[in-house]
Amino acid sequence: MVRFVRILAVCGLILMVFTSLVIAVDGDAAVKKYPPGCTKACCAVKTNPECSLVEPACAKTCDRAIKSGCSKAAGFSCLPNKKKFESSAQLDKLIPGVFEFAGAQWTKAANENPDRTKYPCRTKSADKKAPQYDKWQFFNADHWTAGFAPGNLWYLYEITGDAKYADWAKEYMVGLEGQKDRKDTHDLGFVMMPSYGNGLRLTGNEAYKPTIVQTAKSLASRFNPAVGCTRSWEWGKYSSKNICPVVIDNMMNLEILFWAAKNGGGKNLYDVAVSHANQTIKEQVRDNGTTYHIVIYDPKTGDVIRKEARPGYATESCWSRGQSWAIYGYAMCYRETGDPNYLETAKKVADYWVANLPEDSVPFYDFDDPAIPNVNRDSSAAAVAACGLLELSTQVDSGELSKKYYDSAVKTLTTLCTKESDGGYLAQDAGGKATSPTVLKRAYKKGERGVNYADYYLLEGLLRYKCLSGS
């Protein structure tokens, strides 16, 4: 009898190894086998019992990824970082509930509209006369925020290991694939990095690479050598061929160029990204560390025609979301190039941000609106900036600066993760009932609106925090 049991045990082990090998061959199928932070065949059984392939050389890396709760959130990695950051007991207590709530909210979003060519992007009011933004507004794949829908789902897969999030993300990605050939928008990085970028990172599916590289090439086709930047908008009054508008938001779209340049897209993509970042410093970062939202160039001469603002209060004011794009964007550029000018710029815009935040560390939609404090906050700007500040905290040599950026990010994330009923921005009342379809509220200049990118950068910020704190 004992011998028979032993034979069964050996057969079971052989079957388990064979099954895992089959799964490892199919890159995308691996998403259903490996735990978050360790999605490739590099786990050791002793590290995590859910992994059935043994490659000891990878075990240490996998172990650290599992313990930290993340692997590489949107290019950011805690693994090479030698700095030590203290965890926050208050934030650590809030995070599990936020992750659970985010999972429930995005499960509802995925189930509300089974048409995966329609993307939940922001909330709207069911009744135009009512102040509540209580319904999802669905957009087509060509909307600049469409990629954040699968992006949220990929992060939830990374956090929970639940394959349903990966499955839904992949369903949404099918409709986004055609965006890779678009040459009429600068927002391609926003569309593809949260979706295809995270999909590649978490599944290792090489089939996603060509889509990302082609997208980067399409974005680079908008580069104007006379201006030194990729053109931004091409709609309404900005559609004229006699102007070349460039928005500060475009700093975020440089990451796909850097990535593609390292993955077969060609050095010219790197050069385009560097040129754009340099020109943006010259014309859009003010001496006091604030930023212009829009610069209108002459496309033939490269001369500046004028500067403008749209969601911000005024041309010379500091729109908070634009400032957050700059913090994140220049920290990312320093990561990708090592150019100290980008580090100094990131510090400059971050120093202004930290020094001018209100008490709860969530900014008003614009730092200079004279009606403050009777204007709306922007939780999306807060989430983006928190991500950038966390990365910047690992890049500076000064321990004092590092702590300043890290502490500011942690305070912001703590406020964002606090229920609305308790003075925070998490869309929950005192009883835990959702007050919006999104995770965060007050994510825009107008009213109580929620947006999918606020949720996305909140999850990314929390993953980055967990990486650095080891919590």
In DSSP terms, 223 is beta-bridged to: 230
Whether residue 76 contacts residue 391, with contact meaning beta carbons closer than 8 Å, is answered with yes
Which residue in the block uniquely carries the two structure tokens 């392939």?
53
What's the rounded Cα separation, in Å, for the pair 338 and 108?
A: 42
142: number of Cβ within 10 Å: 16
Q: Which of 167, 181, 187, 422 is catalytic?
A: 187
DSSP 71-89: SEETTEESTT--------H
User: Is 184 a catalytic site residue?
Assistant: no
From 26, 127, 184, 249, the catalytic residue:
249
Collapse the DSSP code of 143 into the 3-class scheme (helix H, G, I; strand E, B; otherwise coil) and give the result.
coil
DSSP state of 186: S
- Contact present, 150 and 202 (Cβ < 8 Å): no
293-306 residues labelled b (16+ CB within 10 A) or e (exposed): bbbbbebeeeeeee
134 is catalytic: no
The Cα–Cα gap between 364 and 354 comes to 13
Listed in sequence order, the residues at least 6 apart from 376 whose beta carbon sits closer than 8 Å to its beta carbon are: 364, 365, 442, 444, 445, 446, 447
155 within 8 A of 458, measured Cβ to Cβ:
no
Active-site residue set: 187, 249
